[in-house]
Chains A and B, each alone.
Chain A
Amino acid sequence: MLAYIVRRLMWTPILLLFVSAIVFTLGHYGPGDPVQIQLGQHFTEERAERLRESRGLNDPVAQQYLRFVWNALHFDFGESTQFQGRGVTELLGPKLKVSAQLFLAAALITIGMGVPLGFYTALKQGSWQDPTIVSGSLVLDAMPVFLTAPYLIIIFALKLDWVPVSGWGGFFSPQVILPALVIGLPGVAIFTRIMRSSTLDVLGQDYVRTARSKGVPEHVVNYRHVARIALIPILTLIGFSLSGLLGGAFIVELIFGIPGVGRFTLDALFARDFPVIMAVALIGAASLVIANLIVDIMYSIVDPRIRYQ
């Protein structure tokens, strides 16, 4: 197990290096001349040359890439082309904080609803609740956020007046509930499904039958013998399945007027502010890789039955 953890820890930086190479290549070769984009109508050959020189764009590509990686390691992603003279990090920092809080709230909703629902449907297998909940969660899964967001706003903000329509007030304000619900609901289906099948797997195990035949009360069997073990596969899927909610998060921030990364990235897209886009992609990928690393290591500790080759 230790060997596995060490191998994972060694592979992660290499993986991140490849990821940064992709981001750099796309950002460097993709959009055309960044200087031309930045100068726009003020473009003259002389100015361009000065800017190129000052930003080190005349250096060999390898050197530029190494500088990109080195700076990224120090959380320096260059200057935004859209807001002259301001660093990407400085601009992105507060947005990242907002988005991270929103995403955390959404993840809590997804997991907090999906896991109990999946467990419940597995216990009720064969009754009418099972297919109803499973197909209901599929309906939610397919529902675009463009539909859930306005209707939740209309019901809870306009008709019932429980929460403000839009804006951002931090993790503990009631304003976080609606956007987090909109982002989180589609993911419920995934967790319901995984939890359901893993619970069904555990329910069929011999030791569960043994516990029942010993006369252990039903609720103790369910929660102590079944639920604990059934939760383990959920762990591995947290990283990947939550990253699927990101697309919804981008749009939800727009609809609810939340000053997060999604909104910022979109503005950057329209302004063709590629340093910002590259930074967002790199940070997103790095956090997913690290989250998966943590989850995998936890998994190998929590479930000693698993033997990695």
Chain B
Amino acid sequence: MSNQDVTTQSSRTGNDMPGDVDFAHPLGIIGELIGTGGRINRAGYFARLVVASVVFVPGLLLNDASSSFSPLSSLAFVYLAFAVFFLSALIAVSASIRRAHDVGWHGALGLLVPIPPIGFLFGLFLLARRGHSATNSHGRSPAGLNVGAPISSVGISPITQAWQRLRRKKIAMATLSIILVIYAVGILAKPLSTHSYSQTDLRHTQEGPSTSHVLGTDRIGRDIYTRVIWGVQTTVLLTIITVGTGGIILGVTLGMVAGYFGGRMDAVIMRVGEVVAAFPGILLVILIAATLRPRIVGWTRDFEDWSNYPNWSPFGGLVESGFVDYLVVTIALLPFAWYGMMRLVRGQVLALRNADYIEAARAVGVSTPRLLFSHILPNITGTIIVTASAGMGAIAGSELILSFLGIGVQPPRPSLGFMISDVSGRGTAVVSVIQQHPEQLLAPIAVIWLLIFTWSLLGDALNDVFNPRTR
């Protein structure tokens, strides 16, 4: 962000504190992420590490995906993956350099961070270490969260304030860490699995937990533990993709457009939303998933054939890679995901549209997109975060039902819903299964239960934190 935003933000609090220095890198957001000058505080360091890990994830996925494509294209995937890994490391290193400045060391020590065992410990150390409260040779102290420094709510962004309040809530931090662990397990399913998720072993079926099969095996001898973590990966990816595209990109953009421009645009978006909301959620999801699946599979096969000329394609194996399932489920869940977000964002934008600081920015001649994205958007982040986190659990539940009904992610790729229906035979047999082989059912159910429960608790806590008045 640039200086202009800093002025906007501090105009809300009426004070220009040095804390805002943290948000005002001369090179904007890119400079914030890969610049190496100046100091950042502990919260800033943590945030940048989170960003680095988030950047890391698509790299892992690209790397995983490379194995399911033809050899030449897999090479392209590996290169892409490495580019992503490099970017992630760049962010982590530059943040470490600036944090090292903050604790009063030479910045070059930050280069240690990518070295596996030492770097991890060093990163934790940098995170734990108190920054100099006074100015040192690298610049002024960033205001905010250094332990011992006076905590002032003046000049700290709403997000930081909310984070400070959230950190004091034990339940919120516990649920947040459970969610992070579940998501990490899902993303790291490949290195964490002990067997192959589709490999059957008819000599060892329906076995209880043992050393070679931690949670036992199912009726055709597949390892339940491995299948559960791959199922978690499916849920994790689908919740992220659906809430990311449907809730955040589609919902927020449409909500801002409807709220800011009003008029005909608003009417159209709202009416479309009403039509979508007229369906009982799951029925629309089932309808879309059932009717569109054959079409989308067909299109993808056509695309594969078309791109397969003369006889090599970078897109070979697209259907086999499970891409189509993800696409179908995401498209089916999209209408479910955007409407609530759109309405809330629209309401907030309507309230903000005529605020004094927006008027002022408009008078100075700030362009409309800029007004929307860097003046209004930061002030509705709270609503967006609360709504998105409330949506995650609902999306996970719907995905479970879709997969259970057999129109979600298709076997052999495991999903928690399919594991349940596979074991229980989609009917009363569930009772005998739970009496004889409880671990086969309880393993997938416990994970999804924990995930939905922690998301709803976290959503509540976030709501308290961002909207303190409605408690």
In the complex, which residue of chain B has the Cβ closest to the Cβ of A273?
Answer: B290
Q: Give the chain A neighbours of B290 by CB distance below 8 A.
A: 30-31, 269, 272, 274, 277
Chain B, range 235-277, C-beta contacts under 8 Å to A: 271, 274-275, 277
Asked if A143 is an interface residue, CB under 8 A from chain B, the answer is yes
The answer to whether B287 touches A26, judged by C-beta atoms less than 8 angstroms apart, is yes
Q: Give the chain B neighbours of A288 by CB distance below 8 A.
A: 278-280
Q: Give the chain B neighbours of A110 by CB distance below 8 A.
A: none
How far is B400's CA from A96's CA once the two chains are assembled, in angstroms? 24
The answer to whether A255 touches B430, judged by C-beta atoms less than 8 angstroms apart, is yes
Cβ contact of B287, chosen from A23, A142, A250, A266, cutoff 8 A: A23
Residue interface mask B287-301, A partner, CB < 8 A = 1 = 110111011001000
Chain B, range 287-338, C-beta contacts under 8 Å to A: 287-288, 290-292, 294-295, 298
Q: A144-B449, A250-B401, A251-B401 are in contact. Are A274 and B291 (CB under 8 A)?
A: yes
Q: Give the chain B neighbours of A78 by CB distance below 8 A.
A: none
Q: Give the chain B neighbours of A265 by CB distance below 8 A.
A: 286
Residue interface mask A4-41, B partner, CB < 8 A = 1 = 00000000000110110011001101111000000000
Min CB distance B228 to A, Å, is 14
In the complex, which residue of chain B has the Cβ closest to the Cβ of A266?
Answer: B405
Min CB distance B328 to A, Å, is 11
Asked if B393 is an interface residue, CB under 8 A from chain A, the answer is yes
The answer to whether A281 touches B405, judged by C-beta atoms less than 8 angstroms apart, is no
The answer to whether B274 touches A15, judged by C-beta atoms less than 8 angstroms apart, is yes
Asked if A77 is an interface residue, CB under 8 A from chain B, the answer is no
Q: Give the chain B neighbours of A29 by CB distance below 8 A.
A: 295
Chain B, range 174-219, C-beta contacts under 8 Å to A: none
Min CB distance B407 to A, Å, is 6
Q: A144-B445, A165-B428, A257-B427 are in contact. Are A31 and B283 (CB under 8 A)?
A: no
The answer to whether A154 touches B435, judged by C-beta atoms less than 8 angstroms apart, is yes
The answer to whether B434 touches A32, judged by C-beta atoms less than 8 angstroms apart, is no
Q: A147-B449, A285-B278 are in contact. Are A142 and B405 (CB under 8 A)?
A: no
Q: Give the chain A neighbours of B275 by CB distance below 8 A.
A: 15, 18-19, 22
How far is B401's CA from A254's CA once the two chains are assembled, in angstroms? 12
The answer to whether A26 touches B288, judged by C-beta atoms less than 8 angstroms apart, is yes
Asked if A150 is an interface residue, CB under 8 A from chain B, the answer is yes
Cβ contact of B405, chosen from A149, A154, A243, A250, cutoff 8 A: A250
- Pairs A–B under 8 Å by Cβ, sample size 9: A31-B294, A138-B453, A142-B449, A142-B456, A147-B445, A154-B431, A246-B280, A281-B279, A281-B283
Chain A positions near chain B (C-beta within 8 angstroms): 15-16, 18-19, 22-23, 26-27, 29-32, 135, 138-139, 141-144, 146-147, 149-151, 153-154, 158, 165-166, 197, 240, 243-244, 246-247, 250-251, 254-257, 265-266, 269-270, 272, 274, 277-278, 280-281, 284-285, 288-289
Chain B positions near chain A (C-beta within 8 angstroms): 271, 274-275, 277-284, 286-288, 290-292, 294-295, 298, 393, 397-398, 400-401, 404-407, 420, 424, 426-428, 430-431, 433-435, 441-442, 445, 448-449, 452-453, 456-457, 460, 470
